Structure 1
Amino acid sequence: MTDTFPADSVGLVTPQVAHFDDPFTFVNGAVLQSHQLVYETYGELNSAGDNAVLICHALSGSHHAAGFHSADERRPGWWDLAIGPGKPIDTARLFVVCSNNLGCCDGSSGPNTINPNTREAWGGQFPQPQVQDWVRSQKRLAEHLGITKWAAVIGGSLGGMQALQWTIDFPDWVGHCVALAAAPGLTAQNIAFNEIARHAILSDPDWREGAYLSEGTLPARGVALARMVGHLTYMSADGMSDRFGRELREGGFSPDENAEWVFQVESYLRHQGSRFSTQFDANTYVLMTRALDLFDLTGSQDGGLAAVLSRAQAEFLVASFSSDWRFPPQRSIEIRDALMAAGKPVTYANIETDNGHDGFLLPNPSYEQLLKEWMRRVGPS
């Protein structure tokens, strides 16, 4: 690291690629004969191998969780707030791993990578992944890196769902679990929001049944609208009022004003949608939202959530965010209560914030202090 970066930054990081030549079978029976995962690591794995921490990303996240890819990069990784020397996930003593999930669009095998059978982009033919698939692929990556147990598995939103799945699929692999702004499954309302977003993409004439890359098009309008809908659900009403109010970006309210009215919040959502539409793959968005819909931690298990979580051997931190209406505090309380019923050690906190569902990504002194203090128990002292 150079003086270019803040003292508490992991500094310059280089993504790495793990290649797997043995078949990977998805929950739905589809098979990849080979695949690759792109990942980043921060810190050093100690000789005892007991300081490894897995970060699971959410819907639009990636392997780039912290640090910078170049000295002139303006924005660090998506969770730089929490990862770095002296930060809550302290890379001075922890070895942190974050991978880009199967089916995503930042270098891991997914719709925008090449199908070896057709020598064209997978497009809409890429298999539908589920949370259980990501967990098994992350386990393969851990074994590739020489890791035999995670000191902690951590994630927010869809990442928190992966962290929870880890504790029941491979309970002896997880010492601690942090689930932030998560839920044991989606409500009908959440599934409906995802369907609206998908419909926006599938209705775009440039969608081409998912084969847009092969046909030289991009369903940018559909992806932009999907992002606008999704982004709206990540924000709280109070947060939006405080940030935008009824302020105009263009035009005016005077009787003689003829310019088109554009409110600040309209301009903001249009910008978010436009930027996202060229950065994120449409097929990946469809796959990721469907994986969210399909997630059900309880499954068909008799005894409900408590019975499922009784398999876990981890200590848990479950945190919700007061203004999050996408995954409201009650969903985290469901997880807390099930863990308590199963006799598992759990710390629960509801963080006061106007940041909505995005609260787990944004600065908040109480939240950061909670995470920092709780993480002291993770790994070697």
Structure 2
Amino acid sequence: ATQIVAFQKDAKAAHVKQMHRVFALLGSGNYAGAWQEQLNLEKMMAADHQAYERALYPLYDLSNAMFMACPSRQGVSMQQDPLQAIQLVRNVYVRGVGIEDANKFLGADDIELSIDIIKNMVEKQLIEDVKATHTADAYRELLTVLDNNHPAYKYAAEQVAILEFDESCKTVAGCHAYLRNYPNSPLIEKAKAQLLKLEFTHAKEVNDEKTWNKFISDYQFVSEASTQVGEARKALTHLQETRLCNKATTLAELDDYASSHRRDVANRVFVAYDNLVNLPTHSYRFMSLKLNFNGFVGSVDETITETSGTVTLNRYKFNAQGLLTEAYNGHTRVLTQYTYAYDAKHGYYLVGKKEKGKSYAYKC
């Protein structure tokens, strides 16, 4: 059996000389001629392909890489795959076997190649193919095989970000993911503007206090969102007025609102409140009727016992907002109707008092 020697051991061996012919043509750019010589080499290797591959490593892998990355397919029937080609070349560096001998072989006067030159040629073709394909996935694959300091690395990363923008920034969640994943994207400001637009649209569609409050909290200090924040404040105030400007509103709700919101003279809730606190028929101001209780809701029975023993019963009823709705003095019942009224006060009431020979008792 013919001994299959490594290319470093015998430059005159038939398979080594054939490998030399392949690279001599590749070095001159004659891919079609080189491919024919590669096919002749394959016939020679058919007897024990693995043994020949080991003997010619890494030259055989490097020639295949050049054919896979061939810029023109004319005369080369191997499937073009620059990505696989660059991975073959990178594996040569990773394994670190036979690099010095391979460079010596490739540096022959009639070849004038090196592993670095082959790597650059393959990378160049891969970059051109990726640019022609121009998809985010293609650029992502390119990033996996390029060194971080490669001139095309930054360009590829930017292209991924640009292409991902149209795909990702269709939803609020997509915009947040884009901003998180591509903080250095050239479209970062565009993504922020898109997020603002989507979140403002979402807030208008939902149109509740919680959503508007969150939008205002997120964007109140963003100068580009000043117009939207202004509209959000108006929408929020309208919702609050609608919720609070009705007779079902309780003192507790109004008190919570007054204590947790900044006073705004244009806010109808505060305007109504300011009017209300001076309304003598409201429990907050009911001291004008000399009953001295403040911010009360429900009913109050007033029993007046004179020294002579005469007893008079008065009854006062207040609604959930502390407004007097009914007064009864034992003989006449008076009903009071209101258009609207609001309060933000809780107070106290007396359980009893004595005044000018009369004893007052209250049951609430």
TM-score, structure 1 as length reference: 0.20
- Of Structure 1 and Structure 2, the greater strand share is in 1
Indicate the structure (1 or 2) with the bigger Cα radius of gyration: 2
- Of Structure 1 and Structure 2, the greater helix share is in 2
